[in-house]
Amino acid sequence: MENSRKALELKKELDDLRPINKEQEGRIMQKFRLDWNYHSNHLEGNSLTYGETKALILFGVTAQGKPLQDHFEITGHNEAINWVVDVVKGDYPLNENFIRELHTLLLKEPYEVDAITADGKPTKKRINVGRYKTSPNHVKTKTGEIFYFATPEETPSKMTDLINWYREKSEQKDVNPIFLAAEFHYKFIRIHPFDDGNGRTARILMNFILMKFDYPPVIIKTEDKASYFAALQLADAGNIEAFIEYVAQNLVRSLEIMIAGAKGESIEEEDDLDKEIALLEQRLKIIESTKVLKSQKSSTELLKKSILPFILAYIENMAKFEKLYSSYEFEVFGDNFSYRTKEDFLQKFKIEEIDDLILNKINIYYIFSMLKQTGFENGKFDSYIKIIFDSNSCKIETLDENVSYEILYDSNLTKAQIDKIVKSEVKRHKEYIEKIISEKENK
C-alpha cells in the first residue's frame, strides 16, 4: 500500500518540523477549512462556487441568485468544522452523542425535501437533525439495483457496534490512524444513520480521527468525485484496501501542503489562482450591487416589497402564542410614526401613504406576560426586532445573535429568508416555554 507508507513517512517529516509557527499554522488551517467546506458540500450538490463559499465564510457575503439552503449548508458545515478543530485539542471522546451533536451543528434545523414513496409517488420527507433515521434511505444504483443501508430498526445497534469497534481499535498500541480513519468512514457510510448529511458527516468524522493523531484533514475534491465513489464501491465489493489507499493518496497531498507551510514555503496549489480570481469576481459583483444607495425611493421600495411582508409574517406567527398568556404588549415605531397595538398597525399602516415616512430605524416589540396556567404566572417572553436603514443596506436584527440579515437596496428578501427569521423567533419562544415547563416538572 504505497500511498499509506508514503503518508506515514511524511507524517514523521512533519513531526520533526513541529511546533509550527502559530501564524503559519493558522494560514495552513484556513486553506484546509475553506477547501474542505467547498469540496465536501459541492460533492453533495451544493451550487455555491469556491469564490462564493470563501466570500460567505470570510466576509459574510451571500451569493445573489443562489438557494438560501445552499448558504445554510456552507455555514452549518463551517460551524461543524470549527467545533471539531476546537474539541480535537482536548480529550473529547468520539461516541454517539458526539456524532449526533456534530450532525445538529451541520444541518442546524429540520427541513423537508422531495422524495418518492415505495410505490413511486412524489411526497415530502422531513429531515431531522441529530436523530437517527426513521425511514429507509436505500439508493438505486446505475444498474437499477437497490443498494441497502441499515434499516431504521438496525441503526442504533449498528452505531453502538461501530463506536465499540472504534474504541477497541484506537486503543491498540500499533494502531494505524490512516487505516482506522478510512475504515471508520466506510463503516459509517454503510450504516447511513441519518436522513441526510451522511457523506459530509462521514468525512468530518474521518478527519476528526486523523487530527486526533496529529494528521492534517483529508480533502476529497469535487473534481475527483468519480474516483471517490469508485473507491467506496470497491469497498462494497470487499476491497476495503482500495478505499484506504484512496484516502491515503489524498492525505499525502494534505501532508505535503502542511510540510510546505511549516517550512515557510508556498502552500498554493495549481488551481488556487482560479479560486482567488473567482473570489475577486464575487467581491466585485458585491461592490457593483451596492451602487444603489439609500434614498427615499429605494428605502420605501424595500419597505413595501420586503420589510412589510416580513413584519406581517412575524405578527401572524407570534400572535398564535397570545392564547397562552393573560396579557401581551405590541408596538411598532420609527422616527415619525408609532403604533401601540397590533390592530392599529394592521389597519392603518398598510393603507397609510408610506412614501413620506422617514426610514432610519423601525423597532418592533412583542411582549408576552403571565402564562394563564396556575403556577406559571411569572412567565414572560420578550421579542424585539430592530430594522436599520443604513446608507448602503438595510439590516434586520433579532435577539438571537445567530439570526440577522443584511439586504441591499437593489434586492429583496425571499420568502425563505422571511421564514427563516420568523421561525427563529418562534423557536426561541417555544424553547422558553418548554424550559419553564421542564423546570416545574423536575421540581
Locate the domains of the chain by residue range: 2-283, 296-441
pLDDT of residue 348: 80
pTM of the model: 0.64
DSSP tag of 222: G
- CATH 1.10.3290.10 assigned to domain 2-283? The reply is yes
DSSP string, 162-213: HHHHHHHHHTSTT--HHHHHHHHHHHHHHH--SSS-HHHHHHHHHHHHHHHT
Q: What is the Cα gyration radius of the chain?
A: 26
pLDDT per residue of the chain (443 residues) written in tens, 0 to 9: 799 999 999 999 999 999 999 989 999 999 999 999 999 999 999 999 888 898 899 888 888 778 888 999 999 999 999 999 999 988 889 999 999 999 999 998 888 877 766 566 777 888 899 999 988 888 777 777 778 899 999 999 999 999 999 999 999 999 999 999 999 999 999 999 999 999 999 999 999 999 999 999 999 999 999 999 999 999 998 999 999 999 999 999 999 999 999 998 888 876 666 666 766 666 666 555 545 678 888 888 889 889 999 999 999 999 999 999 999 999 999 888 899 998 888 888 765 567 777 889 999 999 999 898 888 878 889 999 999 998 888 899 888 766 778 888 888 888 878 888 898 899 999 998 888 888 877 76
pLDDT of residue 356: 73
pLDDT of residue 391: 85
| CA-to-CA dists, residue 430 to 33, 182, 211, 318, 359, angstroms | 34, 41, 38, 10, 32
pLDDT of residue 351: 58
- Find cell 423537508 and name the residue: 112
CA angle at 138 for the pair 246 and 196, rounded to the nearest 5°? 75
Helices 2-17 and 240-262 cross at an angle (nearest 10°) of 30
pLDDT of residue 439: 83
**What are the cell numbers at 104?**
445538529
Phi and psi at 151, nearest 5°, equal: -75, 160
Residue type, 72: F
pLDDT of residue 294: 80
Exposure class string for 406-436: b at 16+ Cβ within 10 A, else e: bbbbebbbeeebbbbbbebbbeebeebbeeb
Phi and psi at 163, nearest 5°, equal: -65, -40
**What are the cell numbers at 69?**
439552503
DSSP tag of 118: T
What is the spatial distance between Cα 8 and Cα 12, in angstroms, rounded to a whole number?
Answer: 7
By the 8 A CB rule, do 396 and 309 touch? no
Strand partners, 123: 115
| CA-to-CA dists, residue 40 to 5, 36, 203, 221, angstroms | 26, 6, 8, 7
162: left (phi over 0), alpha (psi -120 to 50) or beta: alpha
pLDDT of residue 60: 84
**What are the cell numbers at 258?**
502542511
